[in-house]
């Protein structure tokens, strides 16, 4: 039931644009407001550009009555107030009453996609939606204004978009997506995949260490929720992020749970304030849009004391919705181009790469593989030009370093493919759906390195990228990649395939035994070069939490 005790609602029908506008405004209503006559005198004040603003506030006792009904059941205004005619573009309002409940029913039942905007206290605010003027004939409009929450969504989107455009030297030609666009994207994904997703903006109010943390949740079917966490500053949050990464990446601590205190603290700040709403709306996929310094947080490992975040949700990192390609594409029947090297001149060997490429292209998927001397830039370009592989898997060292994008690179056999060269690879025509880097790492605590990692999909021109925040040992990489590709065949979205792979490791459903990799769906004989690999505790986050889905998670 709607509460209109402090809101005045006018339903607007614009025949020319076939639209309906719900408008809510507030201002004191004078005692001279007439009741029972079908007419309400509404005070006006000077508005912008010489116009007039109308901001009535009708309390229950001042609701006009109709046909003897009790006050508060109906709201109406008449056309007799000549002051209304001075508003630019205003058409006189007919002498009709608007029943609040009936209005809600009509709009919700008749307007396509139910795009009805509700405030946090269940008042109708406003929304312009595609609909026929027949939805509520005879009513005409007031100007549309933007709600504070919608404005906040647009502002956060623009801030994130410009930051990545500046770092990656992209032309400023992206259309900034607004709240309506975001909800449309989420609804389309739900309709196509059956997965309810949500965007979570994690932002600090400015750029100093004492900034206050703000969370903004955008879901498919309800109004956004903005939460300011007083006392949680940037410096405080980053201290916990650094502590979490330090505990997880210390290989000497993989038999401990020393990561739990910071993982629980960050969960309390970033997830707990939204948890009830996520559960109530049936959200299954969380897409994080992080502020600077937070993009290297392994969100999958956040912990509520009972389990990891990834045990309830699939998660992903998106730099900006406006810069991403959010369309869903089914890749289950596509082929993979897998390339890599197991030895390098100036970097550590990756002895698991040959078996990684073979398992992916011969047992789990269809595709072509190139190893060591064949892993060249020319072969990468020519193989892609001869066949439009939609998945590219690169099992090699990748570094996201401080400074300009040309400092970061992907190591090929005989050269480095710099981050700023990825755009020239033509991976957006035809579209590469997924780029996988199975052995990359990101400089800790550096904003430029974070921008490079989080902006990988954008810079490469691919929809999605899967990369690691730190170097993971062969014991972790090979099992996770094997499980990821196995689940990618059946999972509804890419992020869910990653989640299932991580769950297999958490629950010890995939193990490395002497001479063998074993899971529920795959048994792989390991070559002598990997004979040293013994049974490890792969359930520790060091082995699985680094891997992050970037860009489009669907």
Q: Which two tokens stand for residue 80?
A: 């007799």
User: Coil, strand, or helix at residue 124?
Assistant: strand
User: Coil, strand, or helix at residue 54?
Assistant: strand
Judge contact between 298 and 248, C-beta under 8 A.
yes
The rounded distance, in Å, linking the Cα atoms of 228 and 259 is 26
H-assigned helices in 179-228: 179-193
**HEC readout, 509-522:** CCEEECCEEECCCC
The rounded distance, in Å, linking the Cα atoms of 309 and 545 is 11
The rounded distance, in Å, linking the Cα atoms of 119 and 9 is 13
Q: How far is CA 286 from CA 216, 264, 350, in A?
A: 12, 18, 32
The rounded distance, in Å, linking the Cα atoms of 255 and 536 is 9
User: Coil, strand, or helix at residue 539?
Assistant: coil
Q: Which two tokens stand for residue 29?
A: 């209503």
Q: Please count the CA atoms within 13 angstroms of the CA of 273 that sit on its side-chain side.
A: 19
Residue closest to 263 by CA, chosen among 545, 482, 524, 486: 545
548: part of which helix (H) or strand (E)?
Answer: strand 547-551
With 0-12 / 13-18 / 19 or more C-beta atoms within 10 angstroms meaning exposed / middle / buried, residue 317 is buried
Q: How far is CA 101 from CA 71, 457, 463, 545, in A?
A: 14, 47, 44, 49
Q: How far is CA 61 from CA 38, 42, 55, 464, in A?
A: 15, 16, 18, 56
Q: Please count the CA atoms within 13 angstroms of the CA of 216 that sit on its side-chain side.
A: 20
Count of other CB atoms within 10 angstroms of residue 66? 15
Q: Which two tokens stand for residue 217?
A: 């949740």
Strand partners for 21: 12, 128
Q: Furthest-apart CA pair in the chain: how many Å? A: 93
Q: What is the pLDDT along the chain (554 residues), one digit of tens a residue?
A: 333 333 333 433 333 333 333 333 333 333 333 333 333 333 333 333 343 333 333 333 333 333 333 333 333 333 333 443 444 443 433 333 333 333 433 333 333 333 333 333 333 333 333 333 333 333 333 334 567 889 999 999 999 999 999 999 999 989 999 999 999 999 999 999 999 999 999 999 876 777 899 999 999 999 999 999 999 999 999 999 999 999 999 999 999 999 999 999 999 999 999 999 999 999 999 999 999 989 999 999 999 999 999 999 999 999 999 999 999 999 999 999 999 999 999 899 999 999 999 999 999 999 999 999 999 999 999 999 999 999 999 999 999 999 999 999 999 999 999 999 999 999 999 999 999 999 999 877 788 999 999 999 999 999 999 999 999 988 899 999 999 999 999 999 999 999 999 999 999 999 888 888 888 878 888 877 776 666 678 999 999 999 999 999 99
Residues 6+ apart with CB under 8 A from 386: none
Residues 6+ apart with CB under 8 A from 169: 405, 420
- List of domains in the chain: 8-145 (no CATH), 150-317 (no CATH), 336-551 (3.40.50.360)
What is residue 121's predicted lDDT score, i.e. its pLDDT? 34
Residue closest to 358 by CA, chosen among 482, 535, 240: 482
């Amino acid at each position: 039931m709607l509460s209109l005790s402090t809101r005045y609602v006018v339903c607007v029908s614009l025949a020319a644009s076939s639209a309906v506008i719900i408008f809510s405004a507030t201002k004191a209503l004078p005692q001279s407001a007439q009741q029972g006559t079908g007419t309400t005198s509404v005070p006006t004040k000077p508005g912008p550009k010489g116009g007039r603003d109308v901001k009535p506030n009708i309390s229950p006792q001042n609701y006009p009555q109709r046909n003897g009904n009790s006050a508060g059941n109906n709201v109406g205004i008449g056309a007799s107030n000549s002051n209304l005619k001075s508003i630019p573009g205003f058409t006189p309002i007919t002498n009709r009453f608007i029943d609040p409940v009936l209005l809600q029913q009509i709009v919700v039942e008749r307007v396509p996609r139910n795009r009805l905007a509700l405030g946090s206290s269940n008042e109708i605010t406003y929304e312009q939606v595609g609909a026929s003027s027949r939805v509520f004939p005879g009513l005409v409009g007031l100007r549309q204004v933007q709600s504070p929450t919608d404005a906040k969504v647009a502002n956060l989107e623009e801030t994130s978009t410009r930051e990545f455009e500046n770092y990656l030297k992209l032309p400023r030609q992206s259309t900034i997506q607004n709240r309506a666009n975001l909800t449309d994207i989420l609804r389309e994904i739900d309709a196509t995949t059956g997965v309810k997703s949500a965007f979570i903006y994690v932002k600090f109010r400015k750029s100093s260490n004492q900034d206050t943390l703000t969370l903004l949740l955008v879901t498919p079917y309800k109004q956004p929720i903005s939460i300011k966490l007083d006392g949680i500053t940037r410096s405080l949050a980053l201290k916990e992020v650094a502590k979490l990464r330090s505990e997880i990446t210390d290989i000497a601590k993989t038999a401990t749970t020393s990561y739990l205190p910071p993982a629980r603290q960050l969960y309390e700040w970033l997830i707990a304030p939204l948890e009830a709403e996520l559960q109530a709306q049936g959200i299954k996929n969380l897409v994080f849009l992080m502020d600077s310094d937070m993009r290297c947080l392994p969100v999958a490992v956040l912990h509520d004391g009972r389990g990891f975040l990834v045990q309830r949700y699939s998660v992903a990192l998106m730099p900006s919705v406006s810069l991403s390609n959010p369309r869903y594409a089914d890749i289950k029947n596509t082929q993979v181009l897998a390339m890599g090297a197991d030895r390098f001149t100036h970097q550590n060997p990756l002895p698991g790469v040959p078996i990684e490429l073979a398992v992916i292209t011969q047992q789990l998927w269809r595709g072509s593989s190139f190893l060591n001397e064949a892993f060249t830039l020319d072969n990468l370009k020519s193989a892609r030009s001869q066949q439009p592989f939609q998945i590219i898997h690169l099992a090699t060292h990748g570094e996201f370093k401080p400074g300009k994008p040309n400092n970061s690179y992907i190591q090929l056999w005989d050269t480095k493919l710099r981050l700023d060269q990825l755009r020239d690879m033509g991976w957006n025509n035809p579209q590469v759906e997924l780029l996988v880097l199975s052995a990359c790492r990101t400089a800790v605590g550096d904003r430029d390195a974070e921008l490079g990692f989080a902006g990988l999909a954008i810079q490469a021109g691919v929809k999605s990228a899967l990369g690691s925040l730190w170097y993971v040992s062969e014991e972790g990489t090979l099992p996770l990649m094997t499980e990821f590709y196995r689940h990618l065949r059946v999972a509804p979205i890419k992020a869910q395939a990653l989640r299932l792979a991580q769950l297999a490791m958490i629950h010890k459903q995939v193990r490395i035994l002497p001479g063998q990799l074993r899971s529920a769906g795959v048994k792989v004989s390991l070559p002598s070069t990997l004979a040293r690999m013994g049974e490890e505790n792969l359930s520790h986050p060091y082995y699985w939490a680094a891997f992050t889905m970037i860009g489009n998670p669907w």
